[in-house]
Homo-oligomer: A and B are copies of this chain.
Amino acid sequence: MNKVIGYAPATVGNVACGFDVLGFALTQPGDKVTITYIEKDVPTYEININSIVGDGGVLPKDTNRNTAGITLAKFLDNLLENKLIHPHFQISIDLEKNLPLSSGMGSSASSAAAALIAVNHLFNNIYPKKELVQFAMEGEYLACGSYHADNVSPAILGNFVLIRSYDPLDLIEIPSPTNLYATLIHPHLEVKTADARSILKDQIALKDAVKQWGNVGALVNGLLTQNMGVIGRSLEDFVAEPYRAPLIPSFYDVKHAAKDLGALGCSIAGSGPSLFAFSESEQIAKNVGLAMKEVFKTKAGLNADFWISKLDSPGANVISEHNTVASN
């Protein structure tokens, strides 16, 4: 029997200007997935979800309806199709959810990435980390109906990831400045990713698109040149935020509170309802979090949790491994 525990952090997709093409990873919180592998004598294989904790009993245990389960299944299908492994095993999944669901914090991506990093390790890191993203995207499709990669890429790879192209998938890793901190705040309400997507327009004004891609270029420049002023100025969103803000009570009050306290910028995390803000120090990031939490409470009557994280995150990693003599 082999047992591997994988961990993958919360992530934020879009990052204001980078709708569907940019995401970053935090260092924590994150989900843990324990993969237990038992070899079988007979040529069959089986994947089952043994336990889920931390989800309030909401997530399905059916492998094909669970993001960690479907991701793992697609990964194993690929290995079997390519005859890289033999179908003589049983794999069971124990999932420890530490991220709130439908929060905009990349909850489904975190579970998928943690499962993948563990199972890939189990098979001697058969694929480089970057290759795992395509499998995790299957989990995203299950979770929200679109093959977006802006959460799963940083959940696996860490730091910032730019998705230059989806077809073919072309991922560009962008290191974070070492002194860049995120505040991620989760107000206690749920916004379904699918609903937040359906609210957007299929067509956008060219003049808004020009502003958006000016900002995307500038954000990439700011990250690579560690220019905090440029990073801050580029955190504008003309495409999603104006439509999604009404789904989050007191959004603009909270955003203004963050910037008043010294945040470089602030926007919706993924499709919401969480918000992220960037700051130049841990202390500012904490002050920003406290101010945002206070405004959610006083203006919207909402409780909220927040996390502070550096952004030079390593992404998904294996946190423990146990090899024991087979007991069957």
Q: List A residues at the B interface (Cβ < 8 Å).
A: 17-22, 162-165, 170, 172, 174, 200-207, 209-221, 224-225, 230, 233-234, 239
Expressed in whole angstroms, the Cα–Cα distance for A209 and B217 within the complex equals 13
Expressed in whole angstroms, the Cα–Cα distance for A58 and B82 within the complex equals 67
B230→A172 contact, CB < 8 A: yes
With beta carbons under 8 angstroms apart, the residue of B163, B203, B217 that contacts A220 is B217
Expressed in whole angstroms, the Cα–Cα distance for A217 and B224 within the complex equals 11
Nearest CB to that of A230 among chain B residues? B172
Name the B residues within 8 Å of A230 (CB-CB).
164, 172
With beta carbons under 8 angstroms apart, the residue of B20, B206, B225 that contacts A210 is B20
A170→B233 contact, CB < 8 A: yes
Nearest CB to that of A236 among chain B residues? B165
Name the B residues within 8 Å of A202 (CB-CB).
205-207
Q: Residue among A200, A202, A204, A221 with the most chain B CB within 10 A?
A: A221
Q: Residue among A22, A203, A205, A214 with the most chain B CB within 10 A?
A: A214
Expressed in whole angstroms, the Cα–Cα distance for A172 and B213 within the complex equals 13
B19→A221 contact, CB < 8 A: no
B170→A210 contact, CB < 8 A: no
A20-B214, A212-B213, A216-B216 are known contacts; what are 6 more A-B pairs with Cβ within 8 Å? A164-B218, A172-B218, A200-B206, A203-B206, A214-B216, A220-B221
With beta carbons under 8 angstroms apart, the residue of B21, B209, B216, B234 that contacts A204 is B209
With beta carbons under 8 angstroms apart, the residue of B18, B165, B214, B225 that contacts A165 is B214
Given A203-B203, A204-B204 in contact, is the A214-B174 Cβ separation under 8 Å? no
Nearest CB to that of A170 among chain B residues? B233
Name the B residues within 8 Å of A17 (CB-CB).
213
A202 to chain B, nearest CB (A): 6
A213→B211 contact, CB < 8 A: no
Nearest CB to that of A208 among chain B residues? B209
A320 to chain B, nearest CB (A): 35
Given A172-B230, A209-B204 in contact, is the A162-B218 Cβ separation under 8 Å? yes
A210→B19 contact, CB < 8 A: yes
Given A209-B239, A224-B225 in contact, is the A164-B204 Cβ separation under 8 Å? no
